[in-house]
Amino acid sequence: MVQILAKLIRIVQTIIHKKGDRPLIFGHRGVPLEHQENTLAGFQRAIALGLDGVELDVFLTKDQKLVVFHDLDTERLTGVSGKITEMTWAEIQQLEIKQSLDVGDEVMDYGKPEKIVLLEDVLEETRGKLIVDIEIKAYSLDFGQRHTGTAVANLIKKWALKKMFSSRRLIFGQCGG
């Protein structure tokens, strides 16, 4: 299925290139047909497929680390109930994204569990290879999360000072609830 999708993407890119500009092709949370969402393996696969970029989600942990994760509650993806914003990075490192996930109309078996990663690690892996669309998960009712955007901006500033990437290769969004 994914090989067919990759071929289709290349065909569409070829057709559009002949006409000039083309739309950018992004992986939503990586490549969830092959790897669990928001995982390093999924982002690495997006690079291998030649995608232009990926969309990912970030939360700020209790100890102020930016983790790449979609849900506020960890249960759907890890089997362990808890709010990711109320956990420390050390606690999150003990969790794994399950090998098999219910994705709505089917259960996907990915072959092995995956670790939750820090945004900084994803930026290091994707630097110069993918555009990164960062969705900031700071729900309006969670007052403790009001600094998530600032933390993302500070990380980007730190990387820009190191000349590790161009901020023009990042797109930011915020989830309002």
Q: Identity (one letter) of the amino acid at 25? A: I
Residue 173 forms beta bridges with which residues?
Answer: 135
Find out whether 97 and 76 touch, Cβ atoms under 8 Å.
no
28 is catalytic: yes
CB neighbour list of residue 19: distance below 8 Å, 6 or more residues apart: none
70 is catalytic: yes
Nearest to 56 by CA among 8, 146, 120, 145: 120
Helix (H), strand (E), coil (C) string for 80-148: CCCEHHHCCHHHHCCCEECCEEECCCCEEECCCCEECEEHHHHHHHHCCCCEEEEEEECCCCCHHHCCH
Q: Identity (one letter) of the amino acid at 167? A: S
Exactly one of 17, 35, 70, 147 is catalytic; which is it?
A: 70
Judged by DSSP in three states, 31 sits in coil
Exactly one of 17, 28, 35, 147 is catalytic; which is it?
A: 28
**Which residue numbers are catalytic?**
28, 70
